[in-house]
Structure 1
Amino acid sequence: MYTDLDEFITEYQHTTDFWYDVGCVMASEKLSKFSSKDWQELLIIVHNRPLEWQKKLAYCLDTSCNRYELEILLSLLSTEDEELFEICIDTLRSFTTQESKQMILDKPSILNRINDLLPKVGIVSKKMLEDFITRLNS
């Protein structure tokens, strides 16, 4: 399944809007069938994929809000790319268990970066980042 997802994201050449409307649903279906081995392979290769591939993946990593999805999103937060960082934070808003929240809180650099971004981002991004902080603290 891992290889199937990798090829799907790599070869998916439709418009960006189409990806977020249709492609991500198809990718999420593939993710829902992942075995533990598939997740481990994805964890290994995710940082070796192009930035656009990482963005597409991050957008659909809330299929089951499992530990693997959380680990991948947290690892992608080390990016210098603001858009990927924001996609990861947006997706992380779906991770509502206490364990998930604690894993996020255990990485203070995430909140530091959000606080640095807040004065610089547009209204939509600002609302999303603020909502993330609110959900994290609830």
Structure 2
Amino acid sequence: MFSELDDYLSLEFLPDYWYDVGTGVASAMLICFDNVAWDALVEQCVSRPAAWQVRCAEIMDLVPHPAAEKICVKLMSTDSDDVVVAGADSLRSIPGAHFPEGAAGRLGAISADGSPPVSAVLAEMLARFSEQ
């Protein structure tokens, strides 16, 4: 099951297609995951290209599973600002999730260098997680 999702997330997508169709297809794949597939996703998510990681992060909040929080946290430890932001965005939508230690500093740095819309979104995320 993991290999199907892995292959799918590796495809090239137009942004509109990914958000209109691709996320639904990918989340339907996640619904079929067993524990072995989830374990493979947790283990291998950080070894994939940044575009794959962003897509992976963007679907983590669509299917409730305990591994989703773990995957977002792992993705937030990568070098890519885009992956970190996508991981944080999904993490804030997972009920009961907590930001990992050090995430606020990293997101604050990304916010300081980001565009006004990115900075506004990150400020909201940081405010939510500072309340925990």
Report the TM-score when normalising by structure 2.
0.88
SS at match of 2:32: coil
Alignment of 1:88-103 (within 5 A): 88-97=87-96, 100-101=97-98
Match of 2:44 in 1: 45
- Taking only aligned residues, the RMSD between alpha carbons, in angstroms, comes to 1.6
Match of 1:111 in 2: 104
SS at match of 1:119: helix
The amino acid that maps onto 1:113 is R
SS at match of 2:72: helix
Match of 1:71 in 2: 70
Q: How many residues align?
A: 131
Q: Which of residues 79, 104, 121 in structure 2 aligns to 1:128? A: 121
Match of 2:9 in 1: 9
SS at match of 2:112: coil
Structure 2 vs 1, CA of residues 33 and 121 (structure 1 numbering), >3 Å: closer, same or farther?
Answer: same
- Shift, 1:76, TM fit: 0.9
SS at match of 1:4: helix
The amino acid that maps onto 1:57 is C
Contact 1:24 1:60 in 2 (8 A): yes
Q: Deviations over 1:40-87 (max 9, x none)?
A: 011121122122111111111112343201111101111111111111
**Mean Cα displacement is larger for which, 110-119 or 71-80?**
110-119
Counterparts of 2:38 and 2:108 in 1: how far apart (Å)? Answer: 31
Taking only the aligned residue pairs, the percentage that are identical comes to 24
Counterparts of 1:116 and 1:23 in 2: how far apart (Å)? Answer: 30
Match of 2:54 in 1: 55
Structure 2 vs 1, CA of residues 89 and 48 (structure 1 numbering), >3 Å: closer, same or farther?
Answer: same
Gaps of 5+ in 2: none
SS at match of 1:118: helix
- Shift, 1:15, TM fit: 1.3
Contact 1:96 1:135 in 2 (8 A): no
- Shift, 1:27, TM fit: 0.2
Report the TM-score when normalising by structure 1.
0.85
Counterparts of 1:87 and 1:75 in 2: how far apart (Å)? Answer: 12
